[in-house]
Structure 1
């Protein structure tokens, strides 16, 4: 029986990407403890070095053009001062980064995380908050925010309420609480199937002045 050329073309668009995805998933991944150790070592280099040593961009670009296998997922804030690849001194292809103001996660972010775990081999998820987070500060200030910023403020309000009675700096407390709630949401909502037991979710707090990441766990 002959198959119409149009059907063959359609099948190729559906099957070939699936095979590529399966090949990605078959690659071994770095375990969560080893991944966290690599991030800590990279952050130490970033903090201690006065001048960047640079990256083998051309070689790494050629290597990653054939496929990606990031060893960690970073759920970070969109703040321009907190780029994870720089903060953790990593190269292209090393980190799978999901960034929104306030390092929040929605269905799109959760889907991205699920993809990185299932198909790219990532086993560590880092929720990376940071000092002086403007999104958390806006939620702490209360009131209405213009446009879609209101959605960000509304999503961070539970962290503000939960940290309200804590001693210390209200903004720092709210940032840490927001990180904890985001990490909890990932643990509860991300559909990782049988891989869930292999995945670790941790929280980090980036200091804008020192460049150091403090870890909650």
Structure 2
């Protein structure tokens, strides 16, 4: 799937969703300290962004959340632009909200959620947009314990049947992980599914693969424990 940058720019200008950098210098409003802080945070390296997520999850697990970036002043400043330091592709499960799990606030995360944290052209386009136009240096694919989509995929494939309605599209997307972990438990399948998506993102053109190769963007997999609240960051086998 190709992204036409000129069309993106035109769409952004038409909607008014542009940053002050797109306005002539003599017309641009002065940045406030809060807006400047948001812009600075967008310059985090992938490693720094990942550490910030790990620290936030530690706050959540310890029941000592800091609830950053939720003040009215911060909300008002975000109205002029966003600089999310990480993209999270997570499951739509109601128990796994990334802003809560990672103890982040408004404008910190560019979150995309779909059952089974699977890829589609629309989701890939959203991720590409956040990387290309918002400068996010980190992509996290977040799966979780006892995932209903993974369970449905395993049971449907084991029964050699078909899931009802559009749920079958989720089954097909998760099927490679199910087949590869046929003799393992559901959590192993969920983690394999996460890493399949990680690998697909790392190899995705037209520019994600180049940015990953250059070290400008990092893609990592993660698995959330519903019982403890802890996020395990996964590495390729």
* TM-score in terms of structure 2 length: 0.77
Report Cα offsets for 1:116-169 as digits up to 9, x if no partner. 011101010000000000000000102321110111011111100011145xxx
Q: 1:3-35, CA deviations, whole angstroms, 9 ceiling, x for partnerless residues? A: xxxxxxxxxx668359936938xx652110000
Unaligned 5+ residue runs, structure 2?
1-9, 23-38
What residue is the counterpart of 2:101 in the other structure? 87
RMSD of equivalent CA atoms: 2.4
Pair 1:189 & 2:204 matched: yes
CA distance in 2 between partners of 1:186 and 1:112 (Å): 12
- With over 3 angstroms needed to count, the CA separation of the structure-2 counterparts of 1:189 and 1:152, relative to structure 1, is same
Give distance in 1, aligned partners of 2:127 and 2:101.
20
Question: Take 1:19 and 1:150, find their aligned partners in 2: how far apart are those partners?
Answer: 36
- Map of 2:169 onto structure 1: 151
> Retained in 1: the 8 A contact 2:86–2:139?
yes
Is 1:113–1:190's contact at 8 Å kept on the other side of the alignment?
no
Farther-moved stretch of structure 1 (76-85 vs 186-195): 186-195
Between structure 1 and structure 2, the one with the greater Rg is 1
Q: 2:43 aligns with which of 10, 13, 29?
A: 29
Q: Give the conservation status (yes or no) of the 8 Å contact 1:70–1:95.
A: yes
Which residue among 63, 80, 102 is the counterpart of 2:116?
102
Query: What is the aligned counterpart of 1:20 among 14, 18, 21?
Result: 18
Partner of 2:133: helix, strand, or coil?
A: helix
TM-score w.r.t. length of structure 1: 0.84
Counterpart check, 1:208 vs 2:226: yes
- The aligned length equals 200
Would you tell me which structure has more helix in proportion to its own residues? 1
- Runs of 5+ in structure 1 lacking a partner? 1-12
